[in-house]
Structure 1
């Protein structure tokens, strides 16, 4: 138990001791507090390492933020480039469509700017080939062996004293043997070389002669060709203009099939020209990129626009063809051109290949020279000036009736002047009387499927035969006149036929002759329901219907 207040028990610390102890405790606490403050202060101040780590962390965070900004900028740049590419792609498609349309619209202008040069007969000739002979190593004679290369050296004085003469004699004999063998080998080799040279020269002469003979034959053929063109030979002139029209250059995608047929009786050239299909016209006028859909969208041409563009194209092709013929024709070989433009396509209704005629016209030289082609509207020109028939709906393959079938002028089908007439048993139409010729035409149209009637010689009103086409809707009455002529039919006969046709109320008038027509007759017939069939056309029809016939001038 503690001592009472005021008393100090034995062994108890005194007040001074307790005060001293309290002071010591307070001092220790103060010291610990000071050390803690020091340690806390020490811990609150960063070291160099900590500062470096912090700096690296801040740098990494800054780099990360910069990388994010760069990535975003790169993404934006990629988006921008993509948008530019798509926009440029749309612009390229638009430019392609515009260039394509410009090429289609400039077919005639290009031909006027660079007219065809025609055919130069001199340029068709060949020159003898330069064929130098190459003998190779055999061209040089062989080198003959020389005795000096074999002869042994003579021994000196000392050598002779030591028996050199005998050794030299033996060496000389061996050298002479080797020399003689070398001479024999040389002579045999040289003889063989000379035989090879002789054979090589013979073979070369044969090749040279064959090449020159080929050149001579070609040149003779070209001379006959040129003479045939000057003489208005059907095959030669057809070939000449075939070569001319084959030179005409078209834009890409056009067919190249074309045919030319010459009718000397009428100085007429018929052309059958393969046209591109209507799909050649770009169906899109322009293109743009729609960003929201990421899609290139075209601005389509209407069906009417495509039809007009296509009609303009075929009209240009027709005018260009006629221009080519009249500007390259020699000696006024051609006074009338018939152009039939056909297209070869698959009929979507039947799946079969069809070749409808989409434009047909007939033009004469005098008409054509009055044109200023650089200023014309092609469609208006062919329709109004040449009375051409142009398909109103080419996209539907709606055909027109050719003013003259190409087969009536095709030299591969018909040759009215038969050079072997003495052994040809086909009847010569020029040997018929006028009345017999009328009956021949009557039989021909009957064979063709018409109901025909021959008029009597008196009071026929200019009608030799009337033919009725029994086909519903497109059938009708045709009045026919037959002219057994050896000279050109005058234009008055064509005018008379037109008047007779109108008087008879016929659908069409047909004039058939064994000769031909002049440009004035064709010009009058343009745009009228008249068909002019010359001698070549008549024979083509006969052959087409299995009727043997020929037209051979009678020599009196």
Structure 2
């Protein structure tokens, strides 16, 4: 977060998010539907082969042979049913086993041009019946129908008069035909002009739509490459929306971004264990004419589920870093949770089963095609549930609400945050007392010790909880710039000297990737400016962080 640490919201964000979700959801739906069509086509192909084979045998058999063959065919069909169940189970297991590997051949980068209007402009289509005018009446053709008196006919009584009348009638017919033609032609021209007018309006509407979408996409692109939080969140939402998982996966998630530390935090809903085939094998028992199933061992279900959870975490981080064409993300944190029911209380719960934070530099050195997922996550300092299948929770490395800078904007609208104090205006002493008071209200017994030379504070606190509690060292950095690794090393040194079980570093700004890397395997919690404001809000204090203008 930069400046007032408030992400820009409004019409632009709504457009970006709706466009992101619609475009990428359609991509994912299309991919899932295509996979389904492939599976159904393969099943239909096998059935056609079986039917064709049956027809050939039927043609070559007598009635008695046909009855015996029908019985054999029934048994074969039942065997085939069991085999189909086994094949479907194997396919589902293969999908789960390939959750990570399937993404490695996919280019996760989003093309902004793909978000523009893709259809062609409306073409002018004039009905064939009105494209060309009909031929106008010709006076000569009407007059040619009148016979001119010749020879003795000219001398007959009244011949000249009859001729004149016939000529007059022919002329009248011509004029009537011409009037009908002119009316028909005027009607045709009116329809043609109407079609052209409609097309012109369609072209204008289409051009407006294209221009509006181009302007929106250009604004989105500029915002993304400028690392505006809303645009970065929207872009990465698109990346994750278009990721194709098995149909049974929920794929619900939230994304937050802190521009000061270039950290993206993902709160991701994991599938339950019911995505794993509960039966290991199907077989047809002829004696009972039934297809019996063999339950999958509980230990195997747990092993597969642990692998799926690990695969989703690694896959998500891979997709985020690979798609990061603006280099807006130095650090990514993945929190995976599951929706389930507490068996002890019957209450709906959402325990986290995995939490991992890593820097791009460190993650891109990993060859995901060859890693052992569990070992890889352990090396990244991940918090992973030891019993994910039983929904045993772990504590997220970064609480999502503390990472989402945009909640500050929401509280602004509700509580008038504009009048709240700016933490950057506090004196060192005031800031010391603020930090100590914050953790005191959070349940820690905190004691101020000494002020550090950079305006931060050393605070020794005690967590009174049995087993989990103990001595905690808290340091606060009222910084305007990114906190580097040296501050984290200093905190760790103080922890060692004090014999503390945990260290907490609170900053008004954000942290660099080296700081996250150093803290990843240590009992150190890094809280940035957004997290600090969130914690203050939790104890009833509205505050803001506005950095002074650069000199």
Tell me if both proteins adopt one fold, taking TM over 0.5 as the criterion. yes
Query: How far apart, CA to CA, are the structure 2 residues paired with 1:96 and 1:539?
Result: 51
Tell whether 2:89 aligns with 1:97: yes
How many Å apart are 1:172 and its aligned residue?
A: 3.0
Secondary structure of the corresponding residue to residue 318 of structure 2? helix
How many Å apart are 1:331 and its aligned residue?
A: 3.8
Query: What's the counterpart of residue 145 of structure 1?
Result: 137
Map 1:463-542 onto structure 2 (within 5 A): 463-466=457-460, 478-542=472-536
| 8 Å CA contact retained: 1:535, 1:551 | yes
How many Å apart are 1:518 and its aligned residue?
A: 1.1
Query: What's the counterpart of residue 398 of structure 1?
Result: 392
Query: How far apart, CA to CA, are the structure 2 residues paired with 1:75 and 1:179?
Result: 83
Query: How far apart, CA to CA, are the structure 2 residues paired with 1:449 and 1:172?
Result: 116
How many Å apart are 1:126 and its aligned residue?
A: 2.7
How many Å apart are 1:437 and its aligned residue?
A: 3.5
Query: What's the counterpart of residue 278 of structure 1?
Result: 273
TM-score normalised by L of structure 1: 0.76
Give the alignment partner of residue 208 of structure 2, picking from 213, 220, 242.
213
How many Å apart are 1:314 and its aligned residue?
A: 0.8
Q: Deviations over 1:17-40 (max 9, x none)?
A: xxxxxxxxxxxxxxxxxxxxxxxx
Q: Deviations over 1:381-440 (max 9, x none)?
A: 212x01211111222221111001223333653469x9xxx9944444334344433444
Tell which deviates more after alignment, 213-222 or 321-330: 321-330
Query: How far apart, CA to CA, are the structure 2 residues paired with 1:144 and 1:74?
Result: 76
Q: Deviations over 1:447-488 (max 9, x none)?
A: 656555555537999744455556676555543322221211
Secondary structure of the corresponding residue to residue 260 of structure 1? strand
| 8 Å CA contact retained: 1:128, 1:211 | no
Give the alignment partner of residue 149 of structure 2, picking from 149, 152, 156.
156
User: 5+ unaligned residues in a row in structure 2: which ranges?
Assistant: 1-61
Map 1:333-482 onto structure 2 (within 5 A): 333-383=328-378, 385-410=379-404, 412-414=406-408, 424-445=418-439, 448=442, 452-455=446-449, 457=451, 463-466=457-460, 478-482=472-476
CA RMSD after TM alignment: 3.6
| 8 Å CA contact retained: 1:116, 1:248 | no
CA 1:215 to 1:438, structure 2 compared with 1: closer, same or farther past 3 Å? farther
Number of aligned residue pairs: 481
| 8 Å CA contact retained: 2:456, 2:478 | no
Query: How far apart, CA to CA, are the structure 2 residues paired with 1:461 and 1:231?
Result: 31
Query: How far apart, CA to CA, are the structure 2 residues paired with 1:533 and 1:193?
Result: 75
How many Å apart are 1:277 and its aligned residue?
A: 0.5
Query: How far apart, CA to CA, are the structure 2 residues paired with 1:380 and 1:232?
Result: 33
CA 1:227 to 1:545, structure 2 compared with 1: closer, same or farther past 3 Å? farther
Secondary structure of the corresponding residue to residue 204 of structure 2? helix
CA 1:217 to 1:164, structure 2 compared with 1: closer, same or farther past 3 Å? same
Query: How far apart, CA to CA, are the structure 2 residues paired with 1:90 and 1:184?
Result: 80
Query: How far apart, CA to CA, are the structure 2 residues paired with 1:361 and 1:87?
Result: 46
Q: Deviations over 1:117-156 (max 9, x none)?
A: 4111233233573322223244333543322243362531
Query: How far apart, CA to CA, are the structure 1 residues paired with 2:290 and 2:300?
Result: 25
Query: How far apart, CA to CA, are the structure 2 residues paired with 1:256 and 1:458?
Result: 46
Q: Deviations over 1:288-314 (max 9, x none)?
A: 456666665544444333222211221
Tell whether 2:110 aligns with 1:119: yes
CA 1:440 to 1:197, structure 2 compared with 1: closer, same or farther past 3 Å? farther
User: 5+ unaligned residues in a row in structure 1: which ranges?
Assistant: 1-69
Query: How far apart, CA to CA, are the structure 2 residues paired with 1:497 and 1:338?
Result: 22
Q: Between Structure 1 and Structure 2, whose CA radius of gyration is higher?
A: 1
Secondary structure of the corresponding residue to residue 373 of structure 1? coil
Query: What's the counterpart of residue 232 of structure 2?
Result: 237
CA 1:409 to 1:171, structure 2 compared with 1: closer, same or farther past 3 Å? farther
Which has the bigger relative contact order, CA under 8 A and spacing at least 6?
2
CA 1:335 to 1:460, structure 2 compared with 1: closer, same or farther past 3 Å? closer
Query: How far apart, CA to CA, are the structure 2 residues paired with 1:433 and 1:485?
Result: 13
CA 1:169 to 1:469, structure 2 compared with 1: closer, same or farther past 3 Å? farther
How many Å apart are 1:367 and its aligned residue?
A: 1.8
Secondary structure of the corresponding residue to residue 510 of structure 1? strand
How many Å apart are 1:379 and its aligned residue?
A: 1.1
Query: How far apart, CA to CA, are the structure 2 residues paired with 1:336 and 1:270?
Result: 9
Give the alignment partner of residue 131 of structure 1, picking from 122, 128, 131.
122
Secondary structure of the corresponding residue to residue 261 of structure 1? strand
Q: Deviations over 1:88-126 (max 9, x none)?
A: 5545444443333333222222223x2334111233233
Secondary structure of the corresponding residue to residue 161 of structure 2? helix
How many Å apart are 1:498 and its aligned residue?
A: 2.5
Secondary structure of the corresponding residue to residue 369 of structure 2? helix
